Amino acid sequence: MERFTYSPFRLAIAAGLAGSGALLVAFLLFSALQQWRITHQAGHELQLARLTMAGSELVHQLQRERGLSAAVLGDDSATLTRQLTRQRTATDEALSRWQATYTSLRDALPESLEHTSNDMMHQRLDALGSTRELVDAHHYELDGLLRYYTEINRHLITDLKDASTHTDDIMIRRQWLSWYSLALLKDDAGLERALGAWAYANDAMPTAQFRRFMSLIRQQSNYLYAFRIQASPAMVHSGEAVMEAVNEQDIEAERDWIVRQAGHGGFDRDPSRWFSLQTTRIDHLHTLEGRVFHALKDTLDRRDADAEHALWSLAAASIALTAGLMAAGIYLWRRRHQLLCRQAPDD
């Protein structure tokens, strides 16, 4: 008759199997938790991308309004005034979309992005109407005008840099930072457009404005270099393809003319032409910015999908292993019970 015994060897094997199984289940559960965290983070980053893209659209319209306002300060021709009126409508629409997006995502925003709702930001935006009235009345100095719009823009652009700190993925962080560099490049191009438009409209460029004009050209080169370093080779190639349609030769010719005439005026240029040339360039930069956003969104979507697939796979494996261990435990218990029952009559 087979007898059941509690041999040390059997106990060691049973304990080893149980411990190994428990550790494997714990590992699978921990891995599943990690994948859940990645999925949650990817969803969080997608929300940030939506908000920053809405902010980018607002910045783009504010840049155009800044440039046209600067031109109108120097020359209130009917053409520029009509363009500015239409642009203000476009700015108001972009502002409404950004506010709606921010409101819908407000509870999910990290604390570092909460500054977009602080009192100073609201005060700047609330002052948009009074700023426009001062521009229409020609009671606004150029430096103050540029400072007002640029402070709002840089505040919104900073959200891109802040968003890059909320990811542990180096490649995703580089995508955020490439977008940030491109946004700074585009904003400086907008400032250059505003200064040139004002100079042509006012037929003058004082020393302070000239120094800033030259500084903006240098800074744009630095931001373009930073973008090329941080962006993927495919995105750099895409950017070059987008910018091929820009007439850089005409822009450089206009820049050279401003440099030559800055000291004594006499530009003899239509500000609308300069504004149009720079607007084409900035619009193409905005198109590239949209591509960077969609590339980032695609990366986050893929990461989310991969993490979700891994999460379900790990959960299924954990359930299957747990079920297997339970079945093995039940089998061993029943086997022990059967052996004890067979042993009882002999005892």
Looking at the predicted structure, is the pLDDT value of residue 106 above 90?
Answer: no
Q: How distant, in Å, are the alpha carbons of 22, 102, 333 from that of 11?
A: 16, 62, 13
Span 223-247, pLDDT tens digits: 999 999 999 999 999 999 999 989 8
Span 249-286, pLDDT tens digits: 999 999 999 999 987 878 888 888 899 999 999 999 99
> Model pTM?
0.76
Span 22-68, pLDDT tens digits: 666 565 555 555 555 656 566 667 777 888 888 899 999 999 999 99
Euclidean distance between CA atoms 344 and 347, whole angstroms: 5
Looking at the predicted structure, is the pLDDT value of residue 222 above 60?
Answer: yes
* Contact between residue 217 and residue 255 where contact means Cβ atoms under 8 Å apart: yes
Q: Which residue has the tokens 């995703």?
A: 172
Mean pLDDT for all residues in the chain:
81
Q: What integer pLDDT is reported at residue 1 of this predicted model? A: 45
Span 61-88, pLDDT tens digits: 999 999 999 989 888 788 889 999 999 9
Looking at the predicted structure, is the pLDDT value of residue 3 above 60?
Answer: no
Span 176-216, pLDDT tens digits: 999 999 999 999 999 999 999 999 988 889 888 999 999 99
If one counts every other C-beta atom within 10 angstroms of the C-beta of residue 225, the result is: 12
* Contact between residue 177 and residue 230 where contact means Cβ atoms under 8 Å apart: yes
Euclidean distance between CA atoms 208 and 99, whole angstroms: 35
Mean pLDDT confidence for 220-224: 95
Span 155-165, pLDDT tens digits: 888 878 877 77
Supply 130's token pair: 């009074």
Mean pLDDT confidence for 273-300: 92
Spatial neighbors of 271 by CB under 8 A, at least 6 apart, are: 71, 74, 75, 80, 196, 197, 198, 200, 201
Euclidean distance between CA atoms 263 and 228, whole angstroms: 35
Q: Please, what is the end-to-end C-alpha distance for the chain in angstroms?
A: 11
Amino acid symbol at 155? H
Q: What integer pLDDT is reported at residue 181 of this predicted model? A: 95
Mean pLDDT confidence for 299-306: 76
Euclidean distance between CA atoms 317 and 125, whole angstroms: 53
Span 320-338, pLDDT tens digits: 767 776 676 676 666 666 6
**3-state SS, residue 262:** coil
Euclidean distance between CA atoms 101 and 155, whole angstroms: 17
| Identity of the highest mean pLDDT range in 53-67, 115-129, 297-311 | 53-67
